[in-house]
Structure 1
Amino acid sequence: MTAPSLDQIRVLPKVVLHDHLDGGLRPQTLLELAEGIGYTMPASTPEALADWFEAAADSGSLVRYLETFDHTIAVLQTADALERVAREAVIDLAADGVVYTEQRWAPEQHLRAGLTLQEAVEAVGRGLAAGEAAVESVGGRIVARQLVTAMRHADRSVEIAELTLANRGQHRVVGFDIAGAELGFPPSQHAAAFDLLHDGLFPTTIHAGEADGVDSVRSALTDGYAARIGHGARLVEDITGVEEAMRRRGKADLSELELGPVATWVRDRRIALELCPLSNVQTGTAPSVRDHQITLLKNLGFAVTVNTDNRLMSRTSMTTEMHRLVTEADWTLDDLLAVTLTAAWNAFIPFDERQELVSQLILPRTAVVKEERSK
């Protein structure tokens, strides 16, 4: 069967687990919010601003990539701004076929204008709810939740963990994350926060294996009790023979590869990897979409998922990510369905809600696409 077309991919139901709220703003919204507070953006039109973010992020450096957030965070310092951006994110994702999203963001970065941590969390919760309602009003459906993030280079992770636990089951909070510069700031530095969450039986996902290697992933598992790994592309460094296998791509004999202890643990326990192909290429984590580690990890049986990371900086969408994997890495429709189901079953919502997500939103819509392709 022929590869799915862009239009077919666009209507597929999708699940995005790794999407930063402050990395997915509409350029027009950025300009309007900036004007409202007298902040100067690097460009004055939506198209030029989108060009600037893509070029600035496309440096091959995670540190340089992260600097682009200075501009988005600058305009997200009020409850109204946070609520608006959360609402628009849900609407935009639904238009791209997304039926479930977890929006991650760091409340500690949004307090400059006087918001409290709690007020910030509540604002995002209201925005997500408003986005869901807007989608439903036009006959669609999307489930939107938030992951509360602590910055790994700061010292507020225990406070943010306490904030997260205090909002369990409220304001659409379902999980905890640490983000920011990975190299030099391992999860072990935030062990006290993760101990709190672990004792509270609350799920965590941890950025690891992007700008740092296997030891960072190991620490996410042993010190952070990670239920999922944010990125995890460099987990391949714990697989002997992987360079030859990636060079040979589809002709590689995967039985010749030997998984190390960290890779074995992640694969055998089905710990989901939140991989972000285009973002990883931008930051130098992967050489190209064609040679991204996600395809090898998928073929080796890891629980891989496809994500956008930052839609503004990478000028991407779930449709774009999937289409690039199809056209450049030879993915099939079955591959796309498999990673979508993996993402759905690894969402941080209750099991019965995951069942409903799969049975009512993913499988029926995918069946329609498959039927259309068979005609």
Structure 2
Amino acid sequence: MEPTAPTGDQVRQAPKVLLHDHLDGGLRPATVLELAREVGHTLPEGSDTDAATLGRWFAEAADSGSLVRYLETFDHTVGVMQTGPAITRVARECVEDLAADGVVYAEIRYAPEQHVSAGLTLDEVVAAVREGFEQGTAAAEAAGHRIVVRQLLTAMRHQARSMEIAELAVAWRDRGVAGFDIAGAEAGYPPTRHLDAFEYLQRENAHFTIHAGEAFGLPSIWQALQWCGADRLGHGVRIVDDITVHDDGSVELGRLAQYVRDKRIPLEMCPASNIQTGAAASIAEHPIGLLTKLRFRVTVNTDNRLMSGTSMTAEMSSLVEAFDYGLADLRWFTINAMKSAFLPFDERLAIIDGVIKPGYAALGV
């Protein structure tokens, strides 16, 4: 640990890597407002007067302690993302916002099946996102920010389109799609319901992550890893249930926790949203502190920047305050994430050695 905590400006300037961020959870409130008026989407009463009011509504509605209630806020972001131009705009602004926050690599996930109600095909949705990412990357570069962005295609675990989305991810994997994911309410919808999709992805040498161990416990994590073969765990906070801290301070890992640590399985931790959904009581009590101390492959992420009113700078700053982390710790989180990215090895290494390490060196680490 450094003797002096990093300043807010230092955290903002530090290179960051983001593996778990939902496209439909990161819209600018002003954009939601404008698009809703364009397409005639009805926003909650009283929230549609101005961007600031709408932004507060999202934060308050998401801050319920319930994952199910948290997910309801997406009705209004997905609702305004049903045309190609709207999706491209949202994707472009996403990249611009992340680049301005110091993110140098990001994997942005979304469920194509949720954006076809106005007639778009799944391929048209992916193409619209790709166009937006390309526009955003060019705009960021013009503003002096280097960023690489890839898509993760998500299937909803309560639906039955996972094989179709898995095939879509494979079809687009050389055109900006890095991998596959399943998301949605965990309880009652185990990942094994989509086993055929995961087996297909494995046969195709494709990468995938699974939302597991957030609202549901160890069985969800165990199934994601041992039945489905996930490369990474989306959230995975409940792995702490398999760790015992004794009164004398000694720590005992159960077999699943030991496996996760030994195999260096990346944990896509999202502190702010975990508190909102009730997966953690506070930042200071978040399992990320213990898991970091035990040197699990911990990464720091935003999940849904709009709903949580957060950013990578805000997430890392909250950890600095709660756990007295220094820049060396933030560098460790960042390299963990880049090592875990669904990007070819040489490209990961180029970002670590050519961007992340020099960026932190310039800050004195």
How big is each residue's C-alpha offset from its partner over 1:196-255, in whole Å with a ceiling of 9 and x where there is no partner?
A: 0011110111000000001100111022211110000000111123xx67xxxxxx73xx
- Higher mean C-alpha displacement, 312-321 vs 261-270: 261-270
- Say which of 57, 60, 74 aligns to 1:55: 60
* In the alignment, structure 1 residue 153 sits paired with structure 2 residue 158: yes
2:233 to 209, 229, 235: 229
- Counterpart code for 1:355: L
* Residue aligned with 1:287, SS: coil
Match of 1:8 in 2: 10
Deviation at 1:76, TM superposition (A): 0.3
Q: Distance in 2 between matches of 1:217 and 1:211?
A: 11
Match of 2:343 in 1: 349
**Alignment equivalent of 1:358, drawn from 352, 357, 364:** 352
Q: Distance in 2 between matches of 1:259 and 1:199?
A: 32
Provide the rounded CA distance (Å) in 2 between the counterparts of 1:112 and 1:223: 33
C-alpha distance in 2, partners of 1:297/1:317? 22
User: SS of the residue aligned with 1:124?
Assistant: helix
**Alpha-carbon RMSD:** 1.1
- In structure 1, the partner of 2:193 is 189
Identity of aligned residues (%): 57
> Corresponding residue for 1:318?
312
Shift of 1:258: 1.4
Number of the residue aligned with 2:203 = 199
1:252-271 equivalences in 2 (<5 Å): 253=249, 256-271=250-265
Query: Structure 2: which 5+ runs fail to align?
Result: none
Amino acid of the structure 1 residue aligned with 2:152: L
What is the match of residue 249 of structure 1? none
Paired letter, 1:108: E
Q: Who is 1:294 aligned against?
A: 288
Per-residue CA deviation, residues 71-128 of structure 1 (Å, 9 max, x unaligned), is 0000000111111111100000000000000000000000011000011011101111
Moved over 3 A (4+): none
Question: 2: CA distance between counterparts of 1:357 and 1:279?
Answer: 27
Instruction: Give the secondary-structure state (helix, strand or coil) at the position aligned to 2:310.
Output: coil
For 1:21, which of 20, 23, 26 is the aligned residue?
23
Match of 2:99 in 1: 94
Deviation at 1:305, TM superposition (A): 0.3
Give me the whole-angstrom Cα distance separating, in 2, the residues matched to 1:334 and 1:291: 22
| Deviates most, 212-221 or 324-333 | 324-333
| Contact kept in structure 2, 1:194 and 1:223, CA below 8 Å | no
In structure 1, what is the Cα distance between the partners aligned to 2:84 and 2:19? 24
TM-score (norm 1): 0.94
In the alignment, the residues of structure 1 paired with residue 213 and residue 328 of structure 2 have an alpha-carbon distance, to the nearest angstrom, of 26
Q: Does 1:120 align with 2:125?
A: yes
Equivalent-residue separation in structure 2 for 1:125 and 1:223 (angstroms)? 32
1:31-70 alignment, distance < 5 Å = 31-42=33-44, 43=47, 44-70=49-75
Deviation at 1:329, TM superposition (A): 2.2
CA distance in 2, matches of 1:59, 1:322: 23
- Whether contact under 8 Å (1:153, 1:180) holds in the other structure is yes
Give the residue type in structure 1 aligned to 2:282.
S
The answer to whether the 8 Å contact 1:83/1:126 transfers is yes
2:240, 2:321 → 1: CA distance? Answer: 23
Q: Which amino acid aligns with 1:102?
A: E
Partner of 1:214: 218
Give the secondary structure class of the aligned counterpart of 1:240: strand
Question: 1:277 corresponds to which residue?
Answer: 271
Cα separation, 2, equivalents of 1:107 and 1:92: 22
Distance in 2, Cα, partners of 1:287 & 1:272: 22
Alpha-carbon distance in structure 2 between the residues aligned to 1:331 and 1:81 = 39
Q: CA deviation at 1:40?
A: 2.2
Residues of 2 paired with 1:351 and 1:59: CA distance?
A: 40
> Is the 1:230–1:275 contact (alpha carbons within 8 Å) kept by the matching residues of 2?
yes
Question: Does residue 327 in structure 1 map to residue 332 in structure 2?
Answer: no
**2:58 partner SS:** helix
Cα shift readout 1:272-310 (whole Å, capped 9, x = no counterpart): 000000000000000100110001001011000000000
Measured in 2, the distance between the counterparts of 1:139 and 1:95 equals 9
2:181 to 169, 177, 183: 177
User: AA paired with 1:16?
Assistant: L
TM-score (norm 2): 0.97
For the 8 Å contact 1:232–1:273, the answer to whether it is kept is: yes
Q: How far apart, CA to CA, are the structure 2 residues paired with 1:56 and 1:94?
A: 27
Residue type at the aligned position of 2:259: W
CA distance in 2, matches of 1:76, 1:285: 28
- Cα distance per residue 1:11-59 (max 9 Å; x no partner): 0000000000000000000011001011122212111111000000000
Superposed CA offset, 1:294-349 (max 9, x none): 01001011000000000000000000001111112222211111010000111001
